[in-house]
Amino acid sequence: MRPVRVAVDAMGGDYAPQEIVKGAIRAAGSDGIEITLVGPEDAIHRELEKYDIAGVPIHVVNASEVIQEGDSPVAAMREKPDASILVAIRLVKRGEADAVVSIGYTGAVMVAAIEILGKLEGVKRPSAGGLLCRFAPRSVLFDMGPNADCKPRDLLNFAVIGSVAARRILGIDNPTVALLSNGSEEGKGNLLVKKAYQLFKQSHLNFIGNIEGNDIPFGRANVIVCDGFTGNILLKFCEGLGEAVVERVKTALDKRLPEEEIEIVASSLFAWTHAAEEGAPIYGVDGVVVIGHGRSHAPQLASAIQMAKLAVESNLVEELKLELGKVKTEG
Amino acid sequence: MRPVRVAVDAMGGDYAPQEIVKGAIRAAGSDGIEITLVGPEDAIHRELEKYDIAGVPIHVVNASEVIQEGDSPVAAMREKPDASILVAIRLVKRGEADAVVSIGYTGAVMVAAIEILGKLEGVKRPSAGGLLCRFAPRSVLFDMGPNADCKPRDLLNFAVIGSVAARRILGIDNPTVALLSNGSEEGKGNLLVKKAYQLFKQSHLNFIGNIEGNDIPFGRANVIVCDGFTGNILLKFCEGLGEAVVERVKTALDKRLPEEEIEIVASSLFAWTHAAEEGAPIYGVDGVVVIGHGRSHAPQLASAIQMAKLAVESNLVEELKLELGKVKTEG
């Protein structure tokens, strides 16, 4: 198989370009990945020179500008045409790369991806989702943010997208789908969920009904569907509660266990409640664009690149087109 | 001060009447509480005989029927007129008790409270709320369930109710109020939150803007406001995540610490993520009705009775009437 060519936005995130270059080198060292770093050539070469990269498939494409958190994403598309994220996504559009990875300003990456690559048919606004917490490693939750206000039909799309993600990213055959609700019985929920329930019942999805908040960490469905407002609050609450628990556990174990052992327990609890750290594709644009957290260091950046590789090799986008097409006539 | 007279539904919950009678005796033993147990006289007296209750202010009022989970709350009001929860609430209506405590079927308690005591002016549907987790012991969240579909105006009512609860139950002067949203800046949120933001800004509340999910465990506002669908999912997610964390911590500490010490850490984490176990008033009915969890044992039942005492002594209902009246003309 030919290597997957990943364009990496070298200028996004809190530790750019140092940690990005480091993470890209790490990923490029593994089998089947070729990296193009996109950003100011000089700065990138200065970083690359710190490493021995003889034989590592890593290239540089110049981009002179950077879109910052705080810029208007739409205005920035016009005002900074040579921004690293735009240059990187154009590589995918022209077929010169198979995927993009960015840990830059999420809003701008989203707008640029929609503008340059286009949306898949039937998608109003691309969706973000994935693992909510590692306690349920076989559950994805959609939508986690972009779609705050939803119609029942949008939830059906999230269910389709989530089913594709569960199959292609997690390798689950025939994933179960549930609506997140305030009660398990049919008829429970807000108006949105009640209406979506009827659509889901008539769909070809492997719909198992409603689940409740306490079911999430136990993975009681492979695909959990909710509006992006609820999903975003849950995701952040999970992270916040994780941090509070870590502090509490550290205090409770202080002087009872050696510091290193406390650190192991604490960092595992942190990781288990911070599943979204490692990057996830945007679902619903016509190309593979993986967004990671702005505070990512090299290991998370390397994970995001591996995620991009998986998305390309599993034909995620083609599968999404197919499945979104199937559901077009349902409901 | 004369004692607070609390009518206790002896027939609700998983361990009725044994644990209820036990919890009621425990509470009646403390200063300033007089208990009336409501339910089948024979069964209650059989339980009471197990204890030495000489001098303990505890009475029994007979009620021959019980409303069960699964009954239609509305139909049950007609079909079981002598149900323990109805008899208990009628004692409050007639001024023969100051408050009711029930750990029975929540839907039925709510319907009965509305029907018998009536709603406060301006309240569409009473609200439930309180601590979401003990990591933030000075934060209440409203609504936690009854109001799944909300208008901006409903959120304003929750903010008023939450402010009264924070003042009267937690003893916080001038509590800060925030909207739970998917971003902290003004303009973030779903349509409901965006509209509510404008109402809140114009109100007399101590409104500090939006907070996000990760702010909740750190108590970044004293009163956190959201629709009851979101609140219910968060509450249950907190409990579920707490259980998952407890399991994980137990596994991680196994053989590294003595079992008793692991149990201390685990049960503290469980308690900190299960704040709603001890009962909370229904807000918005014209009387003090405290609902507890169906799986409560005697200690939780005794806490619920103490909560009822606090609500009565702090004039919670009068204060709610006053504050809901003030906000009637705002927004």
- ipTM for the predicted complex: 0.94
CB neighbour burial string for A260-297, b if at least 16 within 10 angstroms, e if fewer: eebeebbebbeebbbbbbbbbbbbbbbbbbbbbbbebb
Residue B140: is it exposed, middle or buried by C-beta count within 10 angstroms (0-12/13-18/19+)? Answer: buried
- pLDDT tens-digit profile, chain A (331 residues): 789 999 999 998 999 999 999 999 999 988 899 999 999 999 999 999 999 999 999 999 999 999 988 899 999 999 999 999 999 999 999 999 999 999 999 999 999 999 999 999 989 999 999 999 999 999 999 999 999 999 999 999 999 999 999 999 999 999 999 999 999 999 999 999 999 999 999 999 999 999 999 999 999 999 999 999 999 999 999 999 999 999 999 999 999 999 999 999 999 999 999 987 778 999 999 999 999 989 999 999 999 999 999 999 999 999 999 999 988 776 5
Rounded to 10°, the helix B298-313/B316-326 angle is: 60
φ/ψ (deg, to 5) at A330? -85, 130
Chain B nearest CA to A230, separation (Å): 6
The pLDDT of residue A161 is: 98
Closest CB to A240: pick one of B213, B230, B272.
B213
Asked if the structure places residue A307 within a domain, the reply is yes
Cβ of B240 within 8 Å of Cβ of A229? The answer is no
CA closest to A250 among chain B residues: B265
CB-closest option in A212, A257, A265 to B236: A212
Half-sphere exposure of B136 (CA within 13 A, CB side): 25
According to the model, what pLDDT value does residue B328 have?
Answer: 79
Q: Identify whether A320 is part of a domain.
A: no
Structural domain contains residue A322? no
Which member of B189, B233, B269 has the closest CB to residue A182? B233
Q: What is the pLDDT of residue B278?
A: 78
B269 and B292 belong to one structural domain? no
C-alpha to C-alpha distances, B210 to A69, A229, B189, B236, B324, nearest whole angstrom: 19, 13, 9, 22, 22
Measured between beta carbons, the chain B residues lying within 8 angstroms of A238 are 213, 237, 241
- Classify residue A323: in a domain, yes or no: no
Contact A100, A36 (CB under 8 A): no
Boundary-marking domain end, from B277, B300, B325: B277
pTM of the model: 0.94
Which residues on A lie below 8 Å from B145 (Cβ)? Answer: 182
- Of all residues in chain B, the one with the smallest CA distance to A191 is B149
Distance CA B179, CA B66 (A): 39
* Same domain, residue pair B54 and B182: no
**Cβ–Cβ of B212/A145 closer than 8 Å?**
no
Cβ contact, residue pair B182, A232, below 8 Å: yes
**Interface touch A133/B232, C-beta < 8 Å:** no
Claim to verify: residue B133 and residue B269 sit in the same structural domain: yes
CATH number for A54: 3.40.718.10
Looking at the structure, tell me whether residues B63 and B135 fall in a common domain.
no
**CA-CA distances (angstroms) from residue B289 to B86, B87, B93, B103, B282?**
12, 13, 11, 11, 6
pLDDT value of position B7: 98
- Taking the CA of residue A11 and the nearest CA in chain B, the distance in Å comes to 24
Residue B172 lies in a domain: yes
Q: Residues B118, B133: one domain? A: no
Residues in chain B predicted with pLDDT less than 70, given as ranges, are: 330-331
One-letter identity of residue B4: V
B84 to B11, B66, B70, B101, B119: CA distances (angstroms): 7, 6, 16, 11, 21
- Domain identity same for A215 and A145: yes
Report the distance separating Cα A224 and Cα A45, nearest Å.
44
Structure tokens that stand for B221 in this block? 């506002």
Specify whether the CB–CB gap between B179 and B211 falls below 8 A. Answer: yes
Burial-class residue A251 by CB neighbours within 10 Å (0-12, 13-18, 19+).
exposed
CA A179 to chain B, closest CA, distance in angstroms equals: 12
Same domain, B147 and B218: yes
- Checking DSSP bridges between strand A4-9 and strand A58-62, what pairing results, if any? unpaired
From A111's Cα to the closest Cα of chain B, the distance in A is 17
The encoded tokens of residue A20 equal 């990005």
Q: Helices (DSSP H) in A58-135: which residue ranges?
A: 73-79, 84-93, 106-117
Same domain flag for A134 and A250: yes
Between the alpha carbon of residue A201 and those of residues A154, A165, A198, A324, B211, the distances in Å are: 15, 20, 5, 17, 35
Last residue of a domain, one of A275, A304, A326: A275
**Angstroms from B155 CA to nearest CA on chain A:** 15
Residue A324 lies in a domain: no
- Tokens standing for residue A199: 């659509």
| Token output for A255 | 């002087």
Answer yes or no: do B265 and A252 touch at CB < 8 A: yes
Closest-CA distance of chain A to residue B120, Å: 24
φ, ψ dihedrals at B180, nearest 5°: -80, 125
Q: Which of A132, A131, A116, A165 is nearest to A324 (CA)?
A: A165
Q: Which two tokens stand for residue A144?
A: 């986690």
> What contacts B131, CB < 8 A, 6 or more positions away?
B137, B139, B140, B141, B275, B276
Of residues B145, B233, B261, nearest to A234 (C-beta)? B233
- Shared domain check, A304 and A260: no
Q: Is A319 helix (H, G, I), strand (E, B) or coil?
A: helix
Q: Do B135 and A248 touch (CB under 8 A)?
A: yes
Please state the length of chain A: 331
How far A28 CA sits from the closest chain B CA (Å)? 34
Compare CB distances from A148 to B189, B235, B253 and report the shortest one's residue: B189
* Domain assignment present for B196: yes
A240/B217 Cβ within 8 A:
yes
What is the domain extent for residue A148? 127-275
For testing contact with chain A, the best of B72, B147, B151, B182 (most A CBs within 10 A): B182
pLDDT of res. B131: 95
Q: B260 and B137 in one domain?
A: yes
Contact list in A for residue B213 (CB cut-off 8 A) is 232-240
Give a yes or no: residue B330 inside a domain.
no
Nearest to A68 by CA among A52, A59, A79, A57: A79
The minimal CB distance from B212 to the residues A135, A236, A257 is found for A236
Q: To the nearest 10°, the Cα dihedral for B102, B108, B111, B112?
A: -60
Instruction: Give yes or no: residues B146 and B262 share one domain.
Output: yes
In total, how many domains does chain A have?
2
pLDDT at position B331: 54
- 3-state per-residue secondary structure call for chain B: CCCEEEEEECCCCCCCCHHHHHHHHHHHCCCCEEEEEEECHHHHHHHHCCCCCCCCCEEEEECCECCCECECHHHHHHHCCCEHHHHHHHHHHCCCCCEEEECCCHHHHHHHHHHHHCECCCCCCCECEECCCCCCCCCEEECCCCCCCCCHHHHHHHHHHHHHHHHHCCCCCCCCEEEECCCCCCCCCCHHHHHHHHHHHHCCCCEEEEECHHHHHHCCCCEEECCHHHHHHHHHHHHHHHHHHHHHHHHHHCCCCCHHHHHHHHHHHHHHCCHHHHCEECECECCEEEECCCCCCHHHHHHHHHHHHHHHHCCHHHHHHHHHHHHHHCC
CA distance B280 to B106: 12
Indicate whether A267 and A174 sit together in one domain: yes
